Structure 1
C-alpha cells in the first residue's frame, strides 16, 4: 500500500504548480463555522473502529469455520468484511489530519487511498444482491452456476477495480474524478434496489393452490426487507446529494454535505457485519422454486447478510 501512496505523491507533486501557498489551514479550521458536522462524522468513524473491526473479524472467522457448509454469497461477504476491516483502521489517522495537519500533508494520500477502498464497497454488495437475485428468481440457472470458480473471478475483478479506483483517488487531482464516484454509487444503488425489490416481490407470492405465504418465506421476506432498509439508510444520502453538487457552494458541500453523506455511508462497515452475525443462528439457506418446477436442493436463497 505504501508503494501506491508514494506513487500517488509522485504524480501529484509532478502536476502541482510551483507557486503553492504556504498558508494552508487544517480541515477543521477551514470548516470552523459548522464543527458539529465534523464531530458527527468522527463519531461515526470511531463507531466503525470499535464495533466494525471486531464484528468484521468475527464474520471472517465464521465464514472460515463454516467453509464446508457456507453459502454461495459467503465469498463476497468475506471480501466485503476484509474491505471494511481495512477501512475501519482509519479513524486515528483521520482525527489527526482533521484537527492538526494541513490538507497538503502526506498523510492525506493515505486517507484518500482508504476512502477509495470504501467508495467501492457497493460493488461487493451488488455481487451479493445479484447472487441472491439469481437464487430466488432464476433457481435453475443458479443451480447450473453454483460452481464458485466464477465467483472467485468476479471477486478478483472487483478488487482490481477497487484498487485502481483507490489509487486514482489517492492522486487527488484528476479532473472531474468525483463524477466517477457519483456514477458508481447511482448505478450500484439502483441495481441493489432492483435486486432486493424483485426478491421481495417473489417472496410475497404464495405457492399455487395456497392463499397464504409459507412462514419460512415470511421470515425471509422480513430479512430481505431489513437488508433493503439498511441499504437505503446507508447509501441514499450520497445518492440524493452528490448528483447536485454544483448547486451547493464549495464550502457548504465540502464542509457539510460531504461529511453528512459519507458519515451515513461509512457506518455500513459496522451495520453489515452486525446484521450478518444476528442472522447466523437462523437456517443458512432457504429454497424457493418457480411455480411450475420442483424444488431443487441446489437452488437456494441465502438470508444472511
Structure 2
C-alpha cells in the first residue's frame, strides 16, 4: 500500500523516508510527547475547576479533546512508516484534527467577538446552554466529516488536500474577521472611571489585546502556509512532501499556543514569567 497522505509516506514492504519525512517524524514525535500531557493537563484543570469554570471554558475543553486526538494521530502517522494497517485509524484521527481544531477555534473567536463588540447580545445567551448546543452540533459535523473524508479517499487520492483547503478556507476568514474586529474594539478607548479603576481597566484591555494579537498571528501561521501548499499541489496535480511538509509542520506546531495561553492565564506558568 502506497500512501499519499499529508503524513509520512509508507510502503508495506520497504519504507522509504526522505529528509522532509524525517523532519515530519521528528515534529510528530515532539507533538505527541509534549502535546498529549499538556492538553490532558488542560482538561484536568478545567474539570477540577482550577480556571474560570467548565461553563466559561467549555470550548477550550472540547478543543483540547480534539488536540488529544491529533496527538494520537501524530503517533499513528509515525508508526505508519512500518505498520501500514494503522492507515484507516490515522486518517480518521487526522480528519478529526482537520475539522475539529478550526471549528472549535472559530467558535471561540465568534464568542470573543460577541463578548467584546456586541456585549448586550452576548449577555442574552445562557453561557453553558448555548455552548453545549454549539459543541454538540460541532461534534456531529466533525464525525460526519471524518466518515466523508475516508470514503472519498477510496475514490479520489487528492481528497485529503481538498478537505484541508475547503475546511481552512471556510473557517479562516471568519476567525480573522472576528479577531481583527476584537483588536480594533480593544484598541479604542471607551468610557470609564478615572484614576485607579481606569488604569486597571486599561491594563486588562492591554492584556486582552496582546492575547488576541498572539492568537491572530498563530492563526495565520497555522493555516496560511498549508493553504498555499495545498493550492500548489492541486495546481501541479501531484502530491509532493517537500511542498506539503513545511505547511503541515506549521499547522502541527501551532497547536501548542492555545494550551500555553490557557496555562499562563491560570497561573500555571508563573515560574517561567512571574510578571
**By the TM > 0.5 criterion, same fold?**
yes
Unpaired segments of 5 or more residues in structure 1? Answer: 1-23, 283-305
| 1:82 matches 2:61 | no
Secondary structure class of the residue paired with 2:240 = helix
Secondary structure class of the residue paired with 1:145 = coil
Secondary structure class of the residue paired with 1:274 = helix
Residue matched to 1:10: none
| 1:186 matches 2:169 | yes
| 1:112 matches 2:91 | yes
Q: 1:43 aligns with which of 26, 30, 40?
A: 26
Residue matched to 1:262: 248
| 1:229 matches 2:217 | yes
Secondary structure class of the residue paired with 2:63 = helix
**Inter-partner Cα distance in structure 2 for 1:221 and 1:143:** 21
What displacement does 1:246 show? 2.6
Aligned ranges 1:62-141 → 2 under 5 Å: 62-66=45-49, 69-70=52-53, 73-98=56-81, 100-101=82-83, 105-120=84-99, 121-141=101-121
8 A Cα contact 2:92 2:150, kept in partner: yes
Residue matched to 1:6: none
8 A Cα contact 2:113 2:179, kept in partner: yes
What displacement does 1:96 show? 2.6
Larger RCO (CA within 8 A; separation ≥ 6): 1
The TM-score with structure 1 as length reference comes to 0.74
Q: Larger Rg: 1 or 2? A: 1
**Post-superposition CA distance 1:193-241 (Å, at most 9, x none):** 111110000000012499x982221121111111111111112212222
**Post-superposition CA distance 1:29-58 (Å, at most 9, x none):** 2xx5xx221122122211211111111111
The TM-score with structure 2 as length reference comes to 0.81
Provide closer, same or farther for how the CA distance between residues 249 and 68 of structure 1 changes in structure 2, counting only shifts above 3 A: closer
Aligned residues: 249
**Inter-partner Cα distance in structure 2 for 1:95 and 1:237:** 22
Residue matched to 1:173: 154
Secondary structure class of the residue paired with 2:127 = coil
What displacement does 1:68 show? 8.9
More helix by share: 2
**Post-superposition CA distance 1:88-142 (Å, at most 9, x none):** 12344322322x35xxx43211111111011011001000111111000000010
**Inter-partner Cα distance in structure 2 for 1:256 and 1:57:** 32
Unpaired segments of 5 or more residues in structure 2? Answer: 1-10, 269-275
What displacement does 1:164 show? 1.3
RMSD, aligned α-carbons: 2.6
Residue matched to 2:123: 143
